Amino acid sequence: MFADRVRKGLNFMYFHRRRITVAGGFCSAYGYLSYKAMSPKCNEIVRLGVAASLAHVIIEALFHVADTVNVRAKVSDSNDSSLKIVKKIYQKEGILGFTRGFSAMFYGSVFCGFIYFSLYKLLKVYLKEKYESKLNMSAIYFLASFIAEFFTLLVYYPYDLIKCRL
């Protein structure tokens, strides 16, 4: 009985070896960056990017099930309620059906949070120094936010499309 469980666990690990390797490497690198970001010597932009990406991942993970139901409702041919969609997902795929697209969401969220907040901070400081006398502060903040969001969506949008296809 114990040997069967070990064999099933090893088969699972063998089947998902790439995912486990990527997740392990990513978590190690992310943990190292988080540790380095606590240092006062760390660049403020990197510190902000690490904190923002962690917050973005946590929020996206908390709402992943609701987002999965929403996406499935949008691509469905019928006009079903959210509860019917939940029931269909559970009946067809089981509880794991709600986790489909999680890895795409995870990687997209990490990049999205890091890129947006670090780029926003960098652009805000740069534009403030260069155009403070010529532009209103609201215009500087808007411009920094607009440019940061534009480049973030260039990276994040493909991950969002992948999530819709799963």
Mark whether 152 and 115 lie in a shared domain: yes
Mean pLDDT of 41-50: 77
Task: Calculate ∠ Cα 153-155-158, nearest 5°.
Answer: 90
CA distance 16 to 134: 55
Per-residue pLDDT, 162: 66
Per-residue pLDDT, 85: 85
Mark whether 64 and 137 lie in a shared domain: yes
Mark whether 130 and 50 lie in a shared domain: yes
Mark whether 24 and 53 lie in a shared domain: no
**Residue 27's domain spans which residues?**
1-42
Mark whether 70 and 142 lie in a shared domain: yes
Per-residue pLDDT, 161: 67
Mark whether 69 and 27 lie in a shared domain: no
Mark whether 84 and 4 lie in a shared domain: no
Distance of CA 81 to the CA centre of its chain: 27
CA distance 130 to 103: 40
pLDDT in tens, 111-162: 888 888 889 988 998 998 888 888 888 888 999 999 999 998 888 777 666 6
pLDDT over 80 (residue 17): no
